[in-house]
Structures are given as structure tokens and as C-alpha cells.
């Protein structure tokens, strides 16, 4: 495949309400705005169609295809863009998943990524959250190809696991994209740090797309959707309000970084390796 050397990525930091219909309508409008401003790839945040929380997942869950993914398919086709549909609560055979779908410019679904690592944490005095109370983990790695580059998908907590990013990079990914709703404890501590770490470790672009912050919600998202380049620099970063941010992903710059510090050819495969156990 002959690839373009640069493309515009847009991250939609959506303010999510308890009304699914309003969330879908607002998401459609903002995705169309991003496309009109030149984005050829657009991403929505984690749980873009529903409030985030274990009590909400079963209430808002859909089958795929369903109402939310139908909207994503339609707007991807209308705008002729690659659309990363953040994530939605998915139901299948009585099981619930936190699931990201990706749509091609013709409206077809390219992949379905179920969150691999469930967000089960307990920080005394600050936050306790157990996704496993209602969700089941996914068991597949998720990449898709575009005329620009290959993209690896993780959801929120997936970003903490460096092995996943390493495997995606070995598979040829040059952009890692993580819809994620970090909170007011983990967000200021680790959201940007983890994105920069994954970018530097693998010499890739990393994008993290968060919901906007709603101080009245039961789970308050940190916001600050971000794009990081292969040198570990912040290309663009949102605040906490609803917005769209844009970044030009330059694959020639990525190649230059890898030539300047050639870690990929210097790895000691005779001493260590990170491999996928199942594809």
C-alpha cells in the first residue's frame, strides 16, 4: 500500500449526558464539524453514548450492530472518514463489554475492540472502581489499516500495559489510539505521563481521547484529550470542556525519529521478547 505521509487527526472531547439520544446527536454533529475542518480520521471518547459507571453499563448496553453503531456507520460514510467510535457498553449473550468500533469511509465496520484490561482499582481515600462487577474482558488485539498508517486500539486502562503497545508496534502500528476516561485521581497523575511513555518507548504517535469533565457526574472524567508525537512531545492538548482538538500526524517525522535513535533495530532479541500469545 502506498501511504500518504501526513493526515489530520481529530479528537472529539464530548460532554456526555444521561440522555443517549442527545449524546448520539451531539457526537454526530461534532464528528461532522471535525471532518469539515479537514480531519480524515476522527475519534470519540470512552463511553461516548452513556454515563460511565458500573450501574450504567447494563442500562445503556446495546448489541452491535445497534443504535449507536448505526449512527457511527452513517456519519463515517457521509463524511468519508475513518471513525474511531470511542466506546459503548455492549451486550452479547447476557455478557457486558466496554467496546470500541471503528468504521471505514464507506461506512463498513473495520473492527470491534473489547477492553482487554478491566479497570479494577482501589486507592484508599480517593477512588475505588471495579469494572469487573458488571463487565467481562475482551480477548483480542485490535489493529486496522488505512492509507496513512496502521492503527492500534486500546481503551483507557489498556494504556497502562506496555506490552500491548509493544506488540502493536511490532505489528507495524504508527499510531496508538486510546479512548479513555481517566478520573480526577489518576488523570492528573498518569494520563499524560502514560501517553508520553508509550510514545517514547515505541516511537509512535499516541492519542488519548477523553470525555469532557462533568463535575455533577457520579464519575468525573479528567478530560485533557491529548496527541503525543514519537519524540514524546505534546502536539496538542484539550482542557476539560467539550471541544475538538486537531493534530497533523507526520509519518516522515516518525521515520526520522526512528532513524536518529534506532531502538527498533537495536533490541536484543537474543535476550528478551514480547509476543502475543493469541491473535
Residue 249 lies in a domain: yes
Is the pLDDT score of 1 beyond 60?
A: no
Mean pLDDT, the chain, rounded, equals 96
Residue 31 lies in a domain: yes
| pLDDT of 189 | 97
Is the pLDDT score of 76 beyond 90?
A: yes
pTM above 0.95, yes or no: yes
Please write the tens of the pLDDT for every residue from 239-270: 999 999 999 999 999 999 999 999 999 999 99
Residue 92 lies in a domain: yes
| pLDDT of 278 | 77
Work out the angle at residue 168's Cα, subtended by the Cα atoms of residues 271 and 183, and round it to the nearest 5 degrees. Answer: 110
Residue 278 lies in a domain: no
How confident is the model over 78-96, as a mean pLDDT?
98
C-alpha cell at 97: 463489554
The domain that holds 42 is classified in CATH as 3.60.110.10
CA 43 to chain centre: 7
Query: Residue 229: exposed, middle, or buried by beta-carbon count in 10 A (0-12, 13-18, 19+)?
Result: buried
Is the pLDDT score of 199 beyond 80?
A: yes
Residue 3: band (very low, low, confident or very high) from pLDDT cuts 50, 70, 90: confident
Is the pLDDT score of 22 beyond 70?
A: yes
Dihedral class, residue 96 (left if φ above 0, else alpha if ψ from -120 to 50, else beta): beta
Catalytic residues, by residue number, are: 46, 115, 156
Residues 6 or more apart in contact with residue 259 via CB below 8 angstroms? none
Cis peptide leading into residue 251 (ω within 30°): no
What is d(CA 167, CA 140) in angstroms, rounded to the nearest whole number? 12
What is d(CA 105, CA 259) in angstroms, rounded to the nearest whole number? 32
| pLDDT of 4 | 77
C-alpha cell at 106: 464507506
Residue 196 lies in a domain: yes
Residue 65 lies in a domain: yes
Residue 2 lies in a domain: no
> To which residue does cell 463515517 refer?
76
DSSP string, 56-79: THHHH-B-SSSHHHHHHHHHHHHH
User: Are the C-beta atoms of residues 45 and 181 closer than 8 Å to each other?
Assistant: yes
Residues 6 or more apart in contact with residue 36 via CB below 8 angstroms? 79
What is d(CA 156, CA 179) in angstroms, rounded to the nearest whole number? 6
What is d(CA 61, CA 95) in angstroms, rounded to the nearest whole number? 10
Domain count, the chain: 1
> To which residue does cell 453503531 refer?
69
Residue 272 lies in a domain: no
| pLDDT of 169 | 98
Domain membership of residue 43 as a residue range: 7-265
User: Are the C-beta atoms of residues 114 and 140 closer than 8 Å to each other?
Assistant: yes
How confident is the model over 166-187, as a mean pLDDT?
97
User: Are the C-beta atoms of residues 223 and 211 closer than 8 Å to each other?
Assistant: yes
Amino acid at each position: 500500500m502506498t501511504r500518504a505521509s501526513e493526515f489530520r487527526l481529530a479528537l472529539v472531547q464530548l460532554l456526555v449526558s444521561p440522555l443517549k439520544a442527545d449524546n448520539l446527536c451531539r457526537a454526530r454533529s461534532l464528528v461532522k464539524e471535525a471532518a469539515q475542518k479537514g480531519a480524515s480520521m476522527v475519534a470519540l471518547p470512552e463511553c461516548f453514548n452513556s454515563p460511565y459507571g458500573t450501574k450504567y453499563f447494563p442500562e445503556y448496553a446495546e448489541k452491535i450492530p445497534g443504535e449507536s453503531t448505526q449512527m457511527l456507520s452513517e456519519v463515517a460514510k457521509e463524511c468519508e472518514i475513518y471513525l474511531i467510535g470511542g466506546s459503548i457498553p455492549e451486550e452479547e449473550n447476557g455478557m457486558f463489554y466496554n467496546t470500541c468500533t471503528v468504521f471505514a469511509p464507506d461506512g463498513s465496520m473495520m473492527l470491534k475492540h473489547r477492553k482487554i484490561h478491566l479497570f479494577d482499582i482501589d486507592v484508599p481515600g480517593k477512588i475505588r472502581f471495579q469494572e469487573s462487577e458488571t463487565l467481562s474482558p475482551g480477548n483480542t488485539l485490535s489493529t486496522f489499516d488505512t492509507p496513512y498508517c496502521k492503527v492500534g486500539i486500546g481503551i483507557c486502562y489498556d494504556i497502562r500495559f506496555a506490552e500491548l503497545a509493544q506488540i502493536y508496534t511490532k505489528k507495524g502500528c504508527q499510531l496508538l489510539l486510546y479512548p479513555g476516561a481517566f478520573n480526577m485521581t489518576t488523570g492528573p497523575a498518569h494520563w499524560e505521563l502514560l501517553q508520553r511513555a508509550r510514545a517514547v518507548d515505541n516511537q509512535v504517535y499516541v492519542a488519548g481521547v477523553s470525555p469532557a469533565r462533568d463535575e455533577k457526574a457520579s464519575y468525573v472524567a479528567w478530560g485533557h484529550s491529548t496527541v503525543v508525537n514519537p519524540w514524546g512531545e505534546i502536539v496538542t492538548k484539550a482542557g476539560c470542556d467539550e471541544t475538538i482538538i486537531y493534530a497533523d500526524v507526520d509519518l516522515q517525522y516518525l521515520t526520522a525519529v526512528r532513524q536518529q535513535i534506532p531502538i527498533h533495530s537495536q533490541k536484543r532479541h537474543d535476550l528478551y521478547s514480547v509476543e502475543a500469545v493469541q491473535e
